[in-house]
Amino acid sequence: MAFYRQLGNIPPKRHTQHRDSGGQLYFEELMGEEGFSSDSSLLYHRHIPSAIVDATVWELRDQTTTPNHPLKPRHLKLHDLFPEEIWAETDVVTGRRLILGNADVRLSYVVSAKESPLYRNSLGDEMVYVESGEAIVETVFGALHARPGDYVLIPMSTTHRWVPQGSESLRAYAIEANSHIVPPKRYLSKFGQFLEHAPFCERDLHGPSEPLTAEGTDVEVLVKHRAGGAIVGTRMVYPNHPFDVVGWDGCLYPYTFNISDYEPITGRVHQPPPAHQAFEGNNFVICNFVPRKVDYHPLAIPVPYYHSNVDSDEIMFYCGGDYEARKGSGIGQGSISIHPGGHAHGPQPGAYERSIGVEFFDELAVMVDTFRPLELGEGALACEDEAYAWSWSGRGPNK
């Protein structure tokens, strides 16, 4: 992260005595990445943060995956996964259904109207995109307000919970890394400041505004972690509520970034996917396709050229507008397209010619490109449009 922030009650010198008004010492916790050789924050707790009184198994939803074999492009209809009658009993943490995954990243989807349990992911950072609805995300660092179009970045091992707000259910697309998720290095100075050519900057990242304290005893926290090579869960019980931080400072904390604050990079001819990048993790990137002026060369073809990203699987989550290149394919709001490495892909028939002369695209999509093949989760298998693979040719197998 590298952007310093300070909230609440902290002492003038780190690693020194810090007491409350009654003389009781606060307990300092250094939360740091990469063996304390990268970003970190210092948190001051009222209670010992390592104290637990119980630990039992938390059974996760189905985490199994199936290879994309035989290899083919796919279309998934995520809105079919959550009928309205179950929204009130579904939360953003335990209700997620696994769509795609590999050793580096897992993509899940959920529709929720219920407050989640306290939770932390000790496998890596989470970047949760809010398709619709609003929530307060309460964290050990403080609270965030999440609104439609927000990415919510939750650093690895941050205890938090999701509290939906208002009458509209929360639709969330969760990108769970086995690493940290950061802005691309090419957008940053050698000291970590956003450079002028970057499509967003520090002003667009919104962290907690004040510490969040809560009372409680024997408080459960769900922890996602790894055991024996498998992704598993543990239900830990703390003698005191984890939201007992009176102050903190540092460069590691949760934040929101709204996709509407992303300033697209455009050109006279069509720009390749790296021009749309917003974040990256180990062996994957996250890109934004937002409403924008398109190519303005007099002979430009604004939709993408057919392309073979030979190192990557390309996953597009369509979350608004009207995606020009996919017209006629059945793809709409809440769809995911899977274009695997090893298969050339591009506009649907007719879109190439139809786009000539178009000056503006009103589209909104989140793209994840991975550098290892993705496998299909149970959620993907439950909502696939079987006809999509043949949509460029107009006929399917044996026809």
Tell me which amino acid residue 396 is. Answer: G
**363 has which bridge partners?**
321
Q: Which distant-in-sequence residues (6+ apart) come within 8 Å of 135 by Cβ?
A: 92, 145, 146, 162, 163, 164, 165, 170
> How many CB atoms are located within 10 Å of the residue 224 CB?
21
CA distance linking residue 345 with residue 75, whole number of Å: 13
Q: What is the pLDDT of residue 82?
A: 96
Q: Which two tokens stand for residue 67?
A: 């290879």
Q: How far apart (Å, rounded) are the C-alpha atoms in residues 229 and 18?
A: 41
pLDDT value, residue 2: 62
Report d(CA 203, CA 192) in Å as an integer. 14
Mean pLDDT over 101-117 rounds to: 98
376: phi then psi, degrees, rounded to nearest 5: -85, 130
pLDDT at 328: 64
- Which among 359, 361, 311 has a CA at the least distance from the CA of 339? 311
Strand partners, 161: 138
Query: Tell me: the pLDDT tens digits for 385-395?
Result: 999 999 999 88
Strand-strand pairing, 217-227 and 119-121: parallel
Give dist(CA 17, CA 27) in Å, integer: 9
Mean pLDDT of 105-109: 98
Residue 179 binned pLDDT confidence (cut-offs 50, 70, 90) = very high
Residue range 297-347, pLDDT digits in tens? 999 998 888 888 899 999 999 998 877 667 667 899 999 999 999 899 888
pLDDT band at residue 138 using 50, 70 and 90 as cut-offs: very high
pTM of the full structure: 0.95
Find the mean pLDDT for residues 113-125.
97
The DSSP secondary-structure symbol of 268 reads S
Q: Parallel, antiparallel, or unpaired: how do β-strands 105-112 and 170-177 relate?
A: antiparallel
Tokens matching residue 302: 């604004």
Mean of pLDDT values over 266-284: 93
Does the pLDDT value for residue 204 go beyond 80?
yes
Distance of CA 258 to the CA centre of its chain: 12
Taking phi over 0 as left and psi of -120 to 50 as alpha, with beta for the rest, 311 belongs to: alpha
- Split at pLDDT 50, 70, 90, the class of 292 is very high
316 vs 302: CA distance, rounded Å: 18
Angle ∠(57,90,144) on CA atoms, nearest 5: 90
**pLDDT for residue 396:** 77
Q: Which residues of 349-370 are buried (b: 16+ CB within 10 A; e: fewer)?
A: eebbebbeeeeebebbbbbbbb
pLDDT band at 273 (very low <50, low <70, confident <90, very high): confident
